[in-house]
Structure 1
Amino acid sequence: MRTPLWPPVNPALGFVAPALLLIALFFVLPVAAGLVLSFTDFDIYALGDLDRLRWIGFDNYRRLWNDPLVGRALGNTLYFTLVGGPLSVLCSLGAALLMTRPGLPGAAVWRTALFLPVVTSLVAVAVVWRYLYHPLYGALNHLMAWTGFEPIDWLGDARTGMPAILLLAVWKNFGFNMVIFIAGLQSIPARLYEAAALDGAGRWAQFRHVTLPMLAPTLAFVAIVTLIGHLQVFAEPYVMTQGGPADATLTVALLMYREGFRWWKLGYASALALMLFALILIGTGLQTWLRRRGARS
């Protein structure tokens, strides 16, 4: 028998090769290009003449460390994530528990209605909510005036700008997590609840000792997805406030957009993108570590 010139190729490689090629082309290559650009002063002048491109080392990262605007954007992003993330998860879990209650009339209709904001255009929703928050004509201030409260400039006040955007984000996104929680709740065997009821466990005890432990993998997935989404918040402040007032709603992603596509400081914007990537990586890794530690204990 002749010895083959080439070693045999695993047929499975042919099936995954297109997906791997797309991942390399649209994920690995842009990330690598962004990493390289973060060590340069790439700007609009370098677009016209590459001879103007200079290698500046860690200067962009030193600027990140010393730029107070970056600290403000990072603080706003962490506030949005640490407050809005748990609030979104809790609302999603509460809605899922209500939607899976036996004998709930019109459960399918309610699930559809609660999921509709997820499939609605975020820009359209943000524009509508901006009018709801209007200090003179907004429905929210009309409701407050009817109940005896003074109207509030929700998006024009630095104290209420971020909470107003946070409320919109929770309303817009919690339906997606609700559907995931419903799937997780429906996968819990009914016999576990029957056994707990026979042992005298009430609803709270069943939720604490049956629902939460069985729902832990789903909860971990929802928490990680919510963390990643909230750290990348961009469209809501961009459409509703443009980062104002006084940068009170400026986020890291919005600042990255400003630097890269308004001022054409693409090297500095790439450094911001790498900082956000590292932040997401650290947050995801921390949640995964806490989940595994909890599972072992």
Structure 2
Amino acid sequence: MSSTLDVSSRARSHDEAPRGAGQPVPRARRKKKDSGRYVAYLFLAPWFIGLLLITAGPIAASAYLAFTDYSLIGSPEWTGLDNFRRMFDDPRFYQSLKVTFIYVGVSVPLQLAFALFLAMILDRGLRGLALYRSIYYLPSLIGGSVAIAILWRQIFGAEGLLNGVLRFLGADNPPGWVSDPSYALGTLIILNVWTFGAPMVIFLAGLRQIPTMYYEAASLDGAGKVRQFLKVTLPLLSPIIFFNLVLQIIHAFQSFTQAFIVSGGTGGPADSTLFYTLYLYQRGFGNFDMGYASALAWVLLLIVGGLTAVNFIASKYWVFYGD
């Protein structure tokens, strides 16, 4: 009798156990799962190949070449830190740094200020806002192109459109803006300010997220438009300003096409438009000194990374996140 009860209880416990518990996964199910994983790897393969061949590979090669003497013809010869020591005795290296820092330090604040100004105008709800937004965004799309750089050189040339207008207005002997060391860099700064479309669209999106009740409360407290801008708009828009500031600084340090086309690839006149990237290009592909050019590239990376880190550290003193 007891043995019959034991058998029946074991049978009930076996029936109540989760189906498949303690049992091996069927081979067909494992095979299907593995095939799904392989399909995922197959779709990811182009991205991994691009990462290795286009990004990680060149970065590693550049890091190695920065410590070598390489002329693109023979084999690289290890020289240690010689390329970095050469920078301390290279006057054009310091000139390129000077020109680039002036370009970034002047053009980026002006560009962001102009972009914010236009964003506030468009935020008033003008008719055809989508059309205006598209038109103002267009310079950001074409501003870095070769065609615009050639057009800029024609406008600011000695016989260009600007001087034609100035002569029509009665000006005598206007300068050749792109051929005068005193004005050449200024024309490129104006070109960068003109490409304000991308930060303007981001500013406009940020302005749309500020609740109107803050402006109504400030108005009831007697704050005018200027005070509302300083005490309401800027603090609440500070994360967007910080975002645009970091992006535009990085973008400005990478500027190359404008200076190359306007100066004919020389950085002239008198190295007044010798951007850091242009000097790097001259050393690498003009003098075939690829080892020194790679060292210059890594110094630029350190400069941009350092400035970005400083911006993030300083942001805690002026960026308001609402917490």
TM over 0.5, yes or no?
yes
Counterparts of residues 76-155 of structure 1 (less than 5 Å) = 76-102=99-125, 104-120=126-142, 122-136=145-159, 138-150=160-172, 151-155=174-178
More off after superposition, 108-117 vs 127-136: 108-117
**2:60 aligns to what?**
32
Q: Select which of 166, 178, 181 maps to 2:200.
A: 178
Contact kept in structure 2, 1:260 and 1:266, CA below 8 Å: yes
**1:59 aligns to what?**
82
CA RMSD of aligned residues (A): 2.5
User: For 1:201-229, what per-residue CA distance to the aligned partner results, in whole angstroms no more than 9, with x for missing partners?
Assistant: 21111111111111111100100011001
**Residues 195 and 78 (structure 1), Cα distance of their counterparts in 2 relative to 1, 3 Å cut:** same
Contact kept in structure 2, 1:169 and 1:236, CA below 8 Å: no
**1:283 aligns to what?**
307
User: For 1:118-158, what per-residue CA distance to the aligned partner results, in whole angstroms no more than 9, with x for missing partners?
Assistant: 2226211111111111212x111122223333311111111
Give the secondary structure class of the aligned counterpart of 1:200.
coil
Counterparts of residues 225-236 of structure 1 (less than 5 Å) = 225-236=247-258
Separation in 2 of the partners of 1:195 and 1:186?
17
TM-score normalised over the length of structure 1? 0.88
Gapped runs of 5+ residues in structure 1? Answer: none
Partner letter of residue 136 of structure 2? L
User: For 1:166-185, what per-residue CA distance to the aligned partner results, in whole angstroms no more than 9, with x for missing partners?
Assistant: 111211x2111100100111
More off after superposition, 190-199 vs 16-25: 16-25
**1:162 aligns to what?**
185
Contact kept in structure 1, 2:68 and 2:291, CA below 8 Å: yes
Query: How far is 1:83 from its partner?
Result: 0.6
Separation in 2 of the partners of 1:44 and 1:18?
29
Partner letter of residue 260 of structure 1? G
**2:293 aligns to what?**
269
Identity over aligned residues, as a percent? 35
User: For 1:96-123, what per-residue CA distance to the aligned partner results, in whole angstroms no more than 9, with x for missing partners?
Assistant: 1111124x34433322221111222621
Q: Select which of 239, 243, 246 maps to 2:270.
A: 246
Partner letter of residue 37 of structure 1? L
**Residues 26 and 283 (structure 1), Cα distance of their counterparts in 2 relative to 1, 3 Å cut:** same
Contact kept in structure 2, 1:224 and 1:287, CA below 8 Å: yes
Give the secondary structure class of the aligned counterpart of 1:44.
coil
Separation in 1 of the partners of 2:220 and 2:320?
28
**1:198 aligns to what?**
220
Separation in 2 of the partners of 1:193 and 1:74?
43
Separation in 1 of the partners of 2:220 and 2:46?
54
Partner letter of residue 252 of structure 1? Y
Separation in 1 of the partners of 2:97 and 2:44?
38
Query: How far is 1:20 from its partner?
Result: 6.5
**1:44 aligns to what?**
72
Counterparts of residues 209-228 of structure 1 (less than 5 Å) = 209-228=231-250
Contact kept in structure 1, 2:108 and 2:245, CA below 8 Å: yes
Contact kept in structure 1, 2:115 and 2:200, CA below 8 Å: yes
Give the secondary structure class of the aligned counterpart of 1:293.
coil
Give the secondary structure class of the aligned counterpart of 2:210.
coil
Contact kept in structure 1, 2:238 and 2:320, CA below 8 Å: no
- The count of aligned residue pairs is 284
Higher relative contact order (CA 8 A, sep 6+): 1
User: For 1:16-58, what per-residue CA distance to the aligned partner results, in whole angstroms no more than 9, with x for missing partners?
Assistant: 8875664455333322221111000011222xxx3xx211000
Partner letter of residue 291 of structure 1? S
Give the secondary structure class of the aligned counterpart of 1:155.
helix
Larger radius of gyration, structure 1 or 2? Answer: 2
Gapped runs of 5+ residues in structure 2? Answer: 1-21, 26-33
